[in-house]
Amino acid sequence: MLSMISARVHVYGVRPRKDQRGFDLISDALPFGRLWYTEIPHAIEYAKFRSRSHDATIRVYDEAGNSSTRSFAVDHMMRRSAFTMKQAT
């Protein structure tokens, strides 16, 4: 039964908008591909909510294109989230 669980990982990117009016949350896992947010934490929370049944990686980019990676995994059996934060090098 456990082998039937998909190992699909959702990958999200949070990038500043070119017009300086907030941030875009971008992913193939989103129904429309891109969402507009005024604050980074709101975009991250939506990505966590959207991926609650999958493992996910969230990359937050600055204006120069540098990123920090925030990863989290969901315990599929217990439905509890375990969060880990790590800096990209």
d(CA 9, CA 59) in angstroms, rounded, equals 13
Query: HEC profile for 38-58?
Result: CCHHHHHHHHHHHCCCCEEEE
Convert the pLDDT of each residue in 44-73 to its tens digit: 888 888 887 778 888 899 888 888 776 655
CB-based contacts of 43: which residues, under 8 Å, 6+ apart?
A: 14, 23, 25, 35, 37
Convert the pLDDT of each residue in 74-83 to its tens digit: 444 434 444 4
What single-letter amino acid sits at 32? Answer: F
Tell me the two tokens of residue 31.
Answer: 């129904």
Tell me the two tokens of residue 33.
Answer: 């591909």
| Predicted TM-score of the model (pTM) | 0.67
Query: What pLDDT is stored for residue 3 in this prediction?
Result: 42
Convert the pLDDT of each residue in 13-30 to its tens digit: 999 999 999 999 999 888
d(CA 12, CA 30) in angstroms, rounded, equals 9
